[in-house]
């Protein structure tokens, strides 16, 4: 990473710490020479925004991407790099809301999201440390196991989910710690280095001709029947269409865009590397893993034996990194203390993601000229790229039918606004639910 980029990346680190990831060297982007008009303005330089910009520029559209800080400032360069096939919503809620046929399409969209990112990586020769690791989704009590099994049966019976339900000795082949009762296991999910993916998406979007500008926050959007005025820090830009790709970092921008979803925080610790023996005891088959509590923990091993261990103690996105680091180390000890000693914490960092109430991403139109994609509920690595491609295709030819949750009327919601304000109370409610399910 160049010194320039390192110093630019300092801003987010003040709030959320600096992630463990090493990216590629890349050119510094300017905040000058911003055009006065464009076919499409994309707001936000994470996976969503870069994917839309790449896909549209590749198809000959005049695209300008404006990023308030630096490309990769948000969650895209700060996540754990899990690229998993299942949605955040439970299979039973998908079945209730969408029925069998649309539900199948719903699950297919998430499965395809991982296939699409893999195809992009192969076709564009992206260097992002892509590894098809498989995944474990873990239950820690009899009650959780019942819930997991019910969900698995619906997924298997109706949605052709390519995984299996495992317990007992079969589970021990994948995770030796005794506190786990059962898991849904798949061999399709993958993992990658998220900062490298940001840098590679930036590279190919620029190569296709997208005009990308950092340090350029968008302040207000004003729509007329002809275009949208995009008011940014350095002036005004007119666009035929605007894509808002700001996820957990969304500002109101004059249209209450901050209340489309509910922003939450998530944090990760990286330990000193584990010995080979400890790695084999912890995750012998190297699958990326997570628990299924409301306040779930997710973990994976990096190539050098570093354990990444993430989660949330609260729904709020602020907190003291020293305290969070100790809490996460304790949580790791609670899960694996019977088989390994948790090494010292080398790094702790976090970022903001966005949730929706039905745990389904929000992708579609706010108005005729303003589109939005976000609310990936913690599954944003594959889904943000896929949502970006879905919006790009909709902009080009009006096609959206393969996305069963594409919305034609995304609205700000007071309930989302309240959700943000009442996060500490809601946290207590979910923590109590977790306690009851685990004890």
Ligand X SMILES: Cc1cc2nc3c(=O)[nH]c(=O)nc-3n(C[C@H](O)[C@H](O)[C@H](O)COP(=O)(O)OP(=O)(O)OC[C@H]3O[C@@H](n4cnc5c(N)ncnc54)[C@H](O)[C@@H]3O)c2cc1C
* Torsion of the alpha carbons at 213, 217, 220 and 221, rounded to the nearest 10: 30
As measured in angstroms, the least distance from the Cβ of 244 to ligand X is: 8
Decide: is 263 part of the binding site for ligand X (CB under 6 A): no
Structure tokens at 334: 């609670």
As measured in angstroms, the least distance from the Cβ of 383 to ligand X is: 7
DSSP bridge partners of 388: none
Decide: is 268 part of the binding site for ligand X (CB under 6 A): yes
In a 10 Å sphere around its CB, with 0-12 CB exposed, 13-18 middle and 19+ buried, how is residue 417 labelled?
Answer: middle
378 neighbors 87 (Cβ within 8 angstroms): no
Q: In the set 17, 311, 350, 364, which binds ligand X (CB under 6 A)? A: 350
**Touching ligand X, residues 173-232 (CB under 6 A):** 217-218
Q: In the set 98, 109, 355, 376, which binds ligand X (CB under 6 A)? A: 376
Which of residues 21 and 161 has its CB atom nearest to ligand X in the complex? 21
Q: In the set 29, 41, 64, 66, which binds ligand X (CB under 6 A)? A: 66
Which of residues 181 and 315 has its CB atom nearest to ligand X in the complex? 315
Decide: is 134 part of the binding site for ligand X (CB under 6 A): no
Which residue has tokens 């919006």?
Answer: 391
In a 10 Å sphere around its CB, with 0-12 CB exposed, 13-18 middle and 19+ buried, how is residue 61 labelled?
Answer: buried
**Touching ligand X, residues 275-314 (CB under 6 A):** 310
Per-residue string for binding with ligand X, 67-86, x by CB under 6 A? xxx---xxxx-xxxxx----
| Residue whose C-alpha is closest to residue 167's, from 178, 158, 156, 155 | 178
Which of residues 141 and 193 has its CB atom nearest to ligand X in the complex? 193
What is the secondary structure of 186-207 as a DSSP string?
ESS-EE--HHHHHHHHHHHHHH
CA geometry: angle 117, 121, 125, nearest 5 deg: 170
**Phi, psi torsion values for 209, nearest 5 degrees:** 105, 10
What is the secondary structure of 300-313 as a DSSP string?
EE-TTSPEEEEE-S
As measured in angstroms, the least distance from the Cβ of 378 to ligand X is: 5
Q: In the set 343, 380, 404, 419, which binds ligand X (CB under 6 A)? A: 380
**Touching ligand X, residues 34-53 (CB under 6 A):** 43-49
As measured in angstroms, the least distance from the Cβ of 11 to ligand X is: 9
As measured in angstroms, the least distance from the Cβ of 404 to ligand X is: 20
Residues that bind ligand X (CB under 6 A): 43-49, 66-69, 73-76, 78-82, 217-218, 245-251, 253, 266-268, 310, 350-353, 374, 376, 378-381, 384
């Amino acid at each position: 990473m160049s010194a320039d980029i390192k110093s630019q990346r300092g801003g987010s680190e003040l709030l959320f710490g600096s992630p463990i990831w090493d990216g590629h060297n890349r050119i510094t982007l300017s905040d000058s020479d911003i055009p006065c008009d464009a076919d499409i303005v994309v707001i936000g330089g994470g996976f969503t925004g870069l994917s839309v910009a790449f896909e549209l520029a590749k198809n000959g559209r005049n695209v300008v991407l404006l990023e308030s800080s630096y490309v990769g400032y948000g969650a895209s360069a700060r996540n754990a790099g899990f690229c998993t096939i299942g949605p955040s919503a439970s299979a039973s809620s998908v079945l209730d809301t969408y029925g069998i046929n649309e539900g199948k399409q719903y699950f297919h969209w998430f499965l395809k999201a991982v296939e699409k990112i893999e195809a992009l990586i192969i076709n564009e020769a992206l260097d992002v440390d892509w590894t098809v690791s498989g995944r474990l989704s873990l239950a820690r009590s009899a009650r959780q196991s019942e819930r997991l099994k019910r969900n698995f049966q619906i997924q298997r019976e109706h949605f052709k989910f390519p995984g299996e339900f495992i317990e007992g000795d079969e589970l021990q082949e994948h995770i030796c710690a005794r506190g786990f009762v059962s898991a849904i296991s798949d061999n399709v999910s993958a993992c990658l280095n998220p900062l490298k993916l940001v840098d590679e998406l930036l590279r190919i979007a620029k190569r296709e001709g997208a005009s990308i500008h950092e340090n350029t926050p968008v302040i207000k959007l004003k729509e007329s029947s002809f275009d949208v005025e995009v008011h940014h820090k350095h002036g005004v830009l007119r666009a035929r269409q605007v894509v808002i790709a700001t996820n957990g970092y969304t500002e109101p921008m004059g249209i209450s865009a901050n209340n489309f979803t509910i922003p939450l925080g998530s944090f990760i610790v990286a330990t000193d590397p584990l010995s080979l023996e400890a790695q084999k005891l912890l995750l012998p088959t190297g699958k990326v893993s997570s628990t299924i509590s409301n306040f779930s923990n997710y973990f994976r091993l990096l190539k050098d034996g570093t354990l990444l261990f993430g989660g949330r103690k609260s729904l709020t996105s602020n907190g003291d990194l020293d305290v969070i680091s100790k809490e996460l180390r304790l949580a790791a000890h609670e899960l694996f203390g019977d088989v390994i000693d948790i090494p010292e914490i080398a790094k702790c960092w976090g970022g903001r993601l966005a949730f929706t109430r039905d745990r389904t991403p929000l992708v579609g139109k706010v108005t005729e000229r303003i589109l939005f994609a976000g609310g990936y509920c913690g599954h944003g690595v594959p889904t943000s790229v896929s949502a970006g491609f879905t919006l790009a295709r909709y902009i080009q030819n009006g096609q959206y039918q393969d996305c069963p949750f594409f919305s034609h009327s995304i609205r700000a919601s007071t309930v989302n606004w309240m959700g943000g304000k009442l996060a500490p109370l809601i946290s207590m409610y979910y923590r109590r639910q977790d306690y009851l399910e685990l004890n």
